[in-house]
Structures are given as C-alpha cells and as structure tokens.
Amino acid sequence: MKRIIKNISLLAGLLLIFHQLQAQMLDVTVQNTGGNKVQFMGVATAPGFSTAPNNAWGPMNITWRIPKTAAVPAPTVAPPATTPEVTGESTAFTGGSPRDAFNAGTDLAMFDLTAFGLADDGYWYFQVTGTTENVQDISTGNTVLLYEFTLPAGWKCPSCVEIMLTDVAGLPISTASFIDNTGLGRNVLNLVANNAPLPVRFISFEAARAGDDVKLNWKVADERNVSGYHVERSADGRNWTPIGFVPFNASPAPEKLYSLTDPDPLSTINYYRIRQQDLDGRQQYSEIRFIRFDRQELEVRLYPVPVTSILKLNIQSPVNANAVIRVTDLLGHTVHQSKTQLVRGGKTEELNLSTLPAGSYYVEVMSATFKWTGKFIKK
C-alpha cells in the first residue's frame, strides 16, 4: 500500500511539473501605439523564465504581412531585400538581435510571393529571424518587447499587421513565427491578439418569425475584401449547416442591410449565425440568434456574459405584447427598469448597465401573461 501511495504521489508530481511546463508560454500581442509604430509584446504566463535554464532563449522567427493596397506609396526597394520604409526597429532581448533572412543585418526583410516565382496573393511579407542566445529574464506577468518598428506615414493600414503562424505553400523559406526557449526545448510563442483587420463589422443581426418562415436581417459596415455571407443553421447551437449564401453588395454605401428567408425552419428550435467570407479565405462569425416553433412561452438569451456595459436580450415571444424589463441586485433592489414591446417571433433589446457595480444580478421580462427570469454577472 505504501508503495502504491508513493507511486501515486510521484505520478501526481510528474503531472504537476508537466502542466507547469506546458503553461510556460509567452502570450504575444500585436499593438499599434500611435504614429504607425507597431509593437510585438510578450507576457510570461508562468514562473520559470527568470531562472536557469529556462531563462535562456534560442532561435526566433517573426513573420508578418500587410495588404499591398495599404502600402501606398509602394516600397522603393525590389524584394526580397531589406526595406528602408520600415524604421525605428528595436528589441528588448539581449544577446544577438533578430536578423533578417537575406543579409543577417538588424533589419526587416521584405518580400512577396512573386519574388519566389509564385502567384501574387496581394501581400507584402516582412520577416526577422536569427537567435536571441543570451539570457533574458522574464518574471511571471512581466511584459517584454519582442520587436517594434514604425511604418511609413503614408501606409494607412497599421492595424492590418498580421503575424503568421503557418508556412505559405511553395515558399522555400518558412513563414511560421516561433520563439524557442532553450531550457524548455520548444516554441513558447502563444499568439493571443493579432492585429489583422476584421473585413467587416456587424452592426446588427435579427431573426424573426414570418408565418412558417424565419426572416433574417443583418446590417454591416467597413466591408473590405468581402466575398459574401453564408447563413448557417443549427438545432443545438454546436453543429451548423449552411442554408444559403448572400453575395457581397458592391454599392458604396457606408452601411448595408442584407437579408435571407429560411423557408423550411426546424419544427423545434432554430439557431442562426452569419459566416462572413473574405476574398483571401479568412472568415468571421456574427452573434447567434434563435427562433422557436414548439413553445408558447417567453424565451430569452443574454449576451455577452459576463457583461461590461451593454447587455443584450434576444427575446423570443409567442405574441405581440407590452412588457417591462427589470434588473435587480441579489437583495431584490431594482437597479434598472424599462418598458419594451414584445414582438411575435423575436427581437433584441439592449440595456446600458455601465454604471452598475461589479457583481451578480437578476433580470426579469414581464408581460400581462408571461414572465421570464435569468441571472448574469457584471464585470
């Protein structure tokens, strides 16, 4: 029995060490600090980067890209080469500074796919690679500057910087970014906030019953490189099936309204979302809406939860009716109350709760014949 307990304790210790090692990552974010200065920042997620041997760093590669449409005026140096357009480069790592792949200088290398005989994909690629072989201590939670640089003032898309995590097919050089830690013997780069642009901004998305059909309407803005919108439906909110496609509307309007009707909804509950498709393959999802056909009662979905300022209520009602929305604290004190009009099929209400203290709250939706109660957390 003692041997079994000893073995279990040893196994538990090994598992703990394994999870600690797995947790040791550099959370990397991309940020624009103003004046077209872009920074790649790393934050240590667990202890260990401040003591030997895990405070020693090995090879490092960071590759990022920007749409050619944003690089106006165009670069003056024919790639692949270093580029004078990118200035103000620095890194907080000690030891060998990151060096570009073409001349080993402390400069970004710039290239596009045509430089390697491939079809142009509409991007300029920038890369620094080399070693950061000397010790750089990073305590848990501390931030370190991995790399920073300044883009030309004429380049009007500084938020388009996108760190690459995968290789581009056919290129003779790797574009997969990594930061190797010598002590751990592995890549510790964990990209948590890229600065790639969202190709579209969803302003609203509504689903409503129209007899036996479901009418879907969504409003968008800031469309860039949009191919169109796939409408997807689900019975459980997890497994999705495409039910229609709405192509991009090329009109120059700053905001556009799209719609699609589901003529054959499920007989019970229907979840809907919009999948925006970009011309270069990237995609983005809308929030989820749902419609029920099997219940004669109020049903409400709250989002986002936890909420920081605006709480949205997707209200499904079997009838049109006047109603009241009331928010109370855990002691039953009313902290918000407003009137609304229930719409048969569904609608979305927004509550501005930015002034409420952090904590847990109840929300009620009440009409003359229906009542729904839910709970949410305010951050």
User: What residue segments make up the domains of the chain, in order of their start?
Assistant: 2-193, 198-294, 297-379
> Which pLDDT belongs to residue 96?
53
Q: How many CB atoms are located within 10 Å of the residue 41 CB? A: 19
Q: Do domains 198-294 and 297-379 have the same CATH topology?
A: yes
Contact 54, 48 (CB under 8 A): yes
DSSP annotation string for 176-189: --EEEETTTTEE-E
Is pTM beyond 0.85? Reply is no
Q: Are 341 and 324 in contact (CB under 8 A)?
A: no
Indicate the residue type of 356.
L
Reported confidence tier of residue 17, pLDDT bands at 50, 70, 90:
very low
Q: pLDDT exceeding 90 applies to what percent of the chain?
A: 21
Dihedral of alpha carbons 376, 349, 272, 210, sign: positive
- Pairing between strand 109-111 and 143-150? unpaired
- End-to-end CA gap in the chain: 49
- Amino acid identity, residue 291? I
Q: For the residues 221-247, what does the mean pLDDT come to?
A: 89
Conformation bin of residue 345: beta by default, left when phi > 0, alpha when psi is -120 to 50 = left
pLDDT 10s digits, 88-99:
777 766 555 555
Q: Which CATH class is domain 297-379?
A: mainly beta
Return the SS3 of 64: strand
Q: What is the CATH number of domain 198-294?
A: 2.60.40.10
Least confident of 46-50, 79-83, 161-165, 176-180: 79-83
Quote the DSSP letter at residue 307.
B
pLDDT at site 86: 74
Mean of the per-residue pLDDT values of the chain: 79
Name the residue among 124, 106, 107 with its Cα closest to residue 115.
124
